[in-house]
Amino acid sequence: MITLDEFVTRLCRLGADGATRNFPRNQRDREILMQSVVMQLDSARTYSEPEINAQLKGWSTEVAPSIDIDHVTLRRLLVDYHRLERTSDGSKYRVSFPASVVAFDLEIYDLDLRATTAVYRELVQSRRRLRNAGRVAAS
């Protein structure tokens, strides 16, 4: 089971620390990131392709800006991992609930992911400013 603490820690370190990286190969990290994408979607609605693209771009910008992945590749990954269902013509998408090998602590569903990662990014930037200020003072 992925606990709330593990989810937040890994999501922030992978997606919001400022270091650009590819979508991880580690299955547990992939699950955390894909879950964070799905949590941003309304599971009760069907999205058109432009709507799902906008949602995925929003996730990339606001939740996981450190992950270097375009919305098309992310969409394909979510379909391949059965997190999104797509109509045969590719015009409509909706959240899918696959039988996952990884279980998530129910507390993660109460998170505001955008706010959580924004706070983390601000913390990282503050630490960098302090380090840089210390270097300048030591010079």
E strand or H helix that includes residue 95: strand 92-95
101-121 pLDDT, tens digit per residue, is 789 999 999 999 999 999 998
Q: State mean pLDDT over 43-48.
A: 96
- Give me the helix-helix angle, 4-15 and 113-138, nearest 10°: 60
Structure tokens at 91: 């015009």
- List the structure tokens of 116: 């959580």
Tell me the per-residue pLDDT of 20-37, one tens digit each, with 9 for 90 and over. Answer: 999 999 999 999 999 999
